Chain A
Amino acid sequence: MSAIDTLRERAAKTAEFCQEKLWPLVDAHNEKHKIDLTEFRRRLKQCLPLIVGGLATVFIATHSKTPSEGLRFIGLLGYLALGVSAILLGPEIRKNAMKTIERFKAQMFLQRELKQRMISYLDPSFRLNQNPTFPEKTFQTCDLFDSSCDLKRAYDEFHGTIGETKFVMTEIGTFEKKTTRDSKGKTQVTYVPLFRGLLFKAEFNKNFHGQTFVKTDRHEKSFGRLARAAQRIAGSVQKSRLVELESPDFEATFKVTSTDSTEARYILTPDFMERLLSLKNRRGVAVQAAFVDSEIILAVPHPTDFFELKHGPEDLTRSCEHMASEFVEIIELVDLLDLGNRLSKPQTPRQVGAS
């Protein structure tokens, strides 16, 4: 049984795993960080007349049209009542606020722990990076994005090995800063998403030295040969030149540029072009790829949070199943793109870096 088949089989049994291993964790968390409001409610009940009376007298004293010494005294009594209520309720409020903060922190930790356990269950080699940093180097070298974005975020990062293929997958978001001014002259800053999805980097099954980029071709579908001619002219002045491949379907969907046209054809065999096309059709999104330093970098758009776990009992199982199926779908890329086929690659052990 191949590594991907094992993964699929485990993913199918996610609900059982969730019930056996994850629910007890969530239950223990809920038990430990339960916030008991009984004492607070009891004290609030005791203080309620004081608070209401205090507020009423303060209101009367401050809103009276004919202020007098007597009203001022009543007002002082109101403030005194409110002060006493604060003294009585303060420690309870502080205690519960601290507990809420603690619970929130613990929830963040639990979320990471659940994710880690979940992906380790899918495959013991998979690891979650607890403190992901934006994969700046990969982002720059893959040249698939507009690097002029104003804000970059990394949400989750996973490492692992499928068969012999090491991979690292980072969920990222890039944003552009937009400043708008309303009719009153008030400026408002918003961050518009440019890309939200996964950056998947894996060791490629062939060695190469140049750089090849497979980007979505938005122009050729609309402008046909004219767009291709323009791309050719643009490519002739850039480091990467346009490579025209034999497959009409592939050509209509993607634009290929490379520093070495023969190497681009070595990577993009007719079979591999078919695989990339089917990947694009299967996911139904604008998948793009870069081949740099014997590694493949795939940018797969995914508008929503990819690995989000919810804590409610039914929610947890559902979100774990969803996460497992999403994870399998991404890992299937290794299979779909035949990255595990090392038949054409003389042995040269290497590391797939996170950056």
Chain B
Amino acid sequence: MPIELLLGFGAVAFVVAVMYNSLVSKKNEIENAVGGVHSYLKKRADLIPSLVATVKQYAAHETKLLTDLTQARASMESGLSGADNLPQADSMMSQMFGRVIAVAENYPELKANENFLNLQASLNEIEGQLSAARRTYNSAVVAYNTAIESIPTNMIASALGYKRKPVFQVTVAEAERPDIAKLFGQTGS
């Protein structure tokens, strides 16, 4: 076999390998980003026992809210383990936190409680991190979707059976979630 042909095959094989690796790396980045989102969802769900305990001290008769909170946490955990619908559980949990903050408005002592304030700050911190994790996921998905639809990587992607992945979208419930900052009118300066 002439050397030119061998070199040609080698170059093609190299380019294919680079494209293949790039696709695999993009796919893995998505999985990594999903892992990040899940870890923040778990972290947020883990705030619920402390939140329930704090709310109970000042608003023990809000039994419906407390039960719903516990239920939301259970749904989230089963969603994270794959047994339940995760986006739905996520949306339910976001709504629950909104409700807790709204209820706290009726209980000035609860609103002023240091534990509650710290929980609220932690919740805001996790919400921020969660939002960042979702943006990381979306960025990874956009790069992946672009790669599997662009020439020539689309040929390798279709051979590997790679399909488009959906980006995270804000649900109606999330879009309507109360602005905690405005609700509490609390800034540092």
Contact = CB atoms under 8 A, between A and B. Distances in A.
Interface residues of A, number: 31
Interface in A242-257: 244-246
Given A262-B129, A262-B132, A344-B125, A3 B180 contact: no
A155 B164 CA distance: 56
Interface in A1-33: 2-4
Given A246-B135, A265-B132, A162 B118 contact: no
Interface in A186-231: 205-207
A207 B186 CA distance: 18
Interface residues of B, number: 24
A191 B181 CA distance: 50
A345 B125 contact: yes
A266 B40 CA distance: 12
A165 B121 contact: no
B178 interface: no
A334 B189 CA distance: 9
Nearest to A164: B188
A261 interface: yes
Nearest to A346: B121
A164 B189 CA distance: 6
A343 B180 contact: yes
A316 to B, nearest CB: 31
A277 B36 CA distance: 28
B152 interface: no
B189 A165 contact: yes
B122 interface: yes
Nearest to A244: B139
B121 A262 contact: no
A18 B122 CA distance: 46
A8 B121 CA distance: 30
Given A342-B188, A343-B181, A344-B121, 6 more contacts: A205-B188, A262-B136, A265-B135, A340-B188, A343-B184, A345-B125
| 5 tightest Cβ-Cβ pairs between the two chains A and B | A340-B189, A163-B189, A266-B132, A265-B132, A342-B188
